[in-house]
Amino acid sequence: MSYQNIIAEHEDHLGFITIDRPKKLNALNMATIKELHDAFVTLNEDQDIRAIIVTGSGEKAFVAGADISEFADFDASQGKELAAKGQKELFDLVAGLSTPVIAAVNGFALGGGLELAMASHIRVASTNAKMGLPEVSLGLIPGYGGTQRLPQLVGRGKALEMITTGGMITADEAYSYGLVNHVVPQEELLSFCEDLGNKIARNSPIAIGAAIKAVNANYDPSVNGFEVEIEAFGNCFGTTDFEEGTNAFLEKRKPQF
């Protein structure tokens, strides 16, 4: 996979996506969002890939926001189109992938960067990470799902504080809020995420995809999450992974999914 703004690769059962615009602190422009879309789709369709790790190049930033120069002269209709296209093309796509996505947050995760991390299924931050949604300082609000996903993770009060002040929080604060799952030294960040990805890779990919779908249903007011769970649970019984998993358990061996 060859791209201009990102690096996408895979090793064994893990996929890796690195946003590679260090001079722009890995800011998201339209071209980068398109490349991220293509890379996530490609890795998700590869049946050998059991988890995807997304990070930023360098030690300063995961993603330090959107590329403001691209939309500084937009009008209201163009702004709506920008948000709608970005949410569909990348952020909602990531949240709905059947392959778990681990965000390795190395440094600044601001604006669209934090929104990308929140769309990911698991977040691990380096100790030097700083997170925030500073859009109100530009006369904007988060437009890539931030007003929806942040309250789901940290609660309404903390989310409104972060959004209305536009301030940054530390990795330890993010952990205490429930915004990230783990905080580790920067030099251990990728290896920690790889270990986490390998733990995921040992389990049934079919069951994991069903679990992600069921959990996501809880946040969709148009569906009954309990019904989605029942349907997905039942469907698991008709899979080869269920057959392998139960046989391995009864035979006292590790399953080979």
**Residue 122 per-residue DSSP state:** E
Which own/partner pairs from 206-209 qualify as long-range (CB within 8 Å, at least 24 positions apart)? Answer: 206/236, 206/239, 206/241, 207/236, 207/239, 207/241, 207/242, 207/245, 208/50, 208/98, 208/99, 208/100, 209/98, 209/99
Q: Please report which helix (H) or strand (E) contains residue 126, including its range.
A: strand 122-126
Q: How far is CA 94 from each of CA 97, 118, 173, rounded to the nearest angstrom?
A: 5, 10, 25
Asked if 135 is an active-site residue, the reply is yes
Sign of the CA dihedral 115, 192, 49, 30? Answer: positive
Q: Which two tokens stand for residue 203?
A: 């389990």
Beta bridge partners, 126, equal 184
Measured between alpha carbons, how far is 94 from 108 in angstroms, rounded to an integer?
20
Nearest to 93 by CA among 121, 67, 70, 113: 121
Cα first-last separation, the chain: 26
Measured between alpha carbons, how far is 137 from 197 in angstroms, rounded to an integer?
36
Q: At what angle do helices 205-217 and 240-250 cross, to 10 degrees?
A: 110
Among candidate residues 135, 187, 188, 244, the one labeled active-site is 135
Among candidate residues 11, 70, 115, 243, the one labeled active-site is 115
- Please identify every residue annotated as catalytic: 115, 135
